[in-house]
Amino acid sequence: MNRILLLPGDGIGPEVTREARRVLEAAAGRFDLKLEFEEGLIGGAAIDAEGTPLSDAVVETARQCRAVLMGAVGGPKWDALGVDVRPEKGLLRIRKELGLFANLRPARMVPALVGASSLKPEVVAGLDLLVVRELTGGIYFGEPRGRSEVAGRRSACNTMVYDEDEIVRISKVAFESARKRRGEVTHVHKANVLDVSQLWVEVVEEVAKEYSDVTLSHQLVDSMAMLLLRDPQRFDVIVTGNLFGDILSDEAAELTGSLGMLPSASLGEGGVGLYEPVHGSAPDIAGEDKANPLAAILSVAMLFEHSLDAVAAAAAVQDAVAAALAEGHRTGDLVGDTGVTPVGCREMGDIVLAKLSES
């Protein structure tokens, strides 16, 4: 029995998670995988109900599960709260508690969506890259951090810190991933300024010696932000720290047409994987049945692959999404100036389910 913990969260989280769950159940049924669901609170929903963005009880349940499927956290209602009690803290805590140091964010151009990107078709056609983002270290978690008063002035600090073991393990994930793809790793850093980045360059080079079949290059993060717009097709696997990975993965997502398309998997040494769309809680459209559920549904495909070892089920889900798009169905975020009438979140879920049963 495979226990799955659902953490719908805030904003559009619940609606996209609902569609993702339906697809998860349908595909599991087809491939004879037994699932059992738990549901818990995270983010603002948990703050409102339990006074904390993630309770110990939910962490405990997550540890007992094979995988966690998350929606999104955050919203204007909780924006005034300090960083330690905000909805986002719940997400950061579950990543840390489960030791999910490797965040995989694949950005692939679905052929049917080439026109939805804000970039020229010839720039983005065929785009297929994987951001491997370090997820439990760096400036997100470094100490010291916090606010203080220095000489009567408000002051605040965060610390970007990595040790070599953290860099080794994420580098290995990147090189292993590249072996299954086009065999190229681009390490993104700011080594012309940051000591931390110099250590990354050094350690990634050392790890590369064990992967002579993979080509390694290094790219400064500022120039990488530019190259992703100019020539994104040339990248295969991108490995980088927590903060740079956060920023570049949103950029990569937009290249593929919409942030609403990008799934992610967070993996670690423990047995539990966490799957979530890269997009946020989109409070402006929450509850209106306008959200794009495809990033959440594609996260289900990643769950099949990485947590249930069910590659065929993963492929079936991906194919169903591609078929729905090929037939011209679009949620509002993908419509652009095509004049297509958008479908809602639920309807897109229905369409993907129909494609899944036809395949």
List of residues contacting ligand IPM (CB under 6 A): 73-74, 88, 91-92, 246, 278
Q: Which is nearer to ligand IPM, 88 or 350 (CB)?
A: 88
Q: Which is nearer to ligand IPM, 19 or 134 (CB)?
A: 134
Kindly state the smallest distance separating residue 164's Cβ from ligand IPM, in Å.
23
Kindly state the smallest distance separating residue 86's Cβ from ligand IPM, in Å.
9
Q: Which is nearer to ligand IPM, 86 or 190 (CB)?
A: 86
Which of 235, 229, 191 shows the shortest CA–CA distance to 215?
235
Side-chain-facing half-sphere of 130: CA atoms under 13 Å: 24
- When CB distances are held under 5 to 8 angstroms depending on the partner's kind, the choice from ligand IPM, Mn ion, none that residue 317 binds is none
Q: Which is nearer to ligand IPM, 139 or 201 (CB)?
A: 139
Q: Containing H/E element for 33? A: none
Taking contact as CB under 5 A, which single stretch among the options 150-158, 175-183, 241-249, 293-301 is the one that binds Mn ion? 241-249
Q: For residues 187 and 132, give the distance between their C-alpha atoms in angstroms, rounded to a whole number.
A: 10
Catalytic residue among 10, 89, 140, 290: 140
Q: Which is nearer to ligand IPM, 246 or 333 (CB)?
A: 246
In 158-306, beta strands by DSSP E = 184-189, 215-220, 237-240, 263-267, 273-277
Kindly state the smallest distance separating residue 261's Cβ from Mn ion, in Å.
15
Kindly state the smallest distance separating residue 83's Cβ from Mn ion, in Å.
15
Kindly state the smallest distance separating residue 111's Cβ from ligand IPM, in Å.
26
Render 126-178 in DSSP notation, one character per residue. Answer: T-EEEEEEE-SSGGGT-SS-EEEEETTEEEEE------HHHHHHHHHHHHHHH
Contact status, residue 134 vs residue 105, Cβ threshold 8 Å: no
Q: In the annotation, is 246 catalytic?
A: yes
For Mn ion (CB under 5 A), the number of binding residues is: 1
Q: For residues 158 and 138, give the distance between their C-alpha atoms in angstroms, rounded to a whole number.
A: 10
Residue of minimal CB distance from Mn ion?
Answer: 246
Q: In the annotation, is 250 catalytic?
A: yes
CA pseudo-torsion sign 76, 80, 85, 91: positive
Q: In the annotation, is 162 catalytic?
A: no
Q: For residues 55 and 66, give the distance between their C-alpha atoms in angstroms, rounded to a whole number.
A: 19
254 touches Mn ion (CB under 5 A): no
Q: In the annotation, is 333 catalytic?
A: no
Q: What's the gap between Cα 184 and its chain centre?
A: 21
Q: For residues 252 and 228, give the distance between their C-alpha atoms in angstroms, rounded to a whole number.
A: 7
166 touches Mn ion (CB under 5 A): no
Catalytic residue among 128, 250, 319, 350: 250
Interhelix angle for 13-30 vs 345-358, to 10°?
10
Q: Which is nearer to ligand IPM, 40 or 277 (CB)?
A: 277
Q: Which residue has the tokens 């292993």?
A: 176
Structure-token pair, residue 209 = 């010696």
Taking contact as CB under 5 A, which single stretch among the options 112-120, 161-169, 240-248, 325-333 is the one that binds Mn ion? 240-248
Kindly state the smallest distance separating residue 278's Cβ from ligand IPM, in Å.
6
Which of 289, 296, 303, 288 shows the shortest CA–CA distance to 260?
296
Q: In the annotation, is 319 catalytic?
A: no
- When CB distances are held under 5 to 8 angstroms depending on the partner's kind, the choice from ligand IPM, Mn ion, none that residue 88 binds is ligand IPM
246 touches Mn ion (CB under 5 A): yes
User: Segment 129-158, which members bind Mn ion (CB under 5 A)?
Assistant: none
Binding site for Mn ion (CB under 5 A): 246
User: What are the catalytic residues?
Assistant: 140, 190, 222, 246, 250
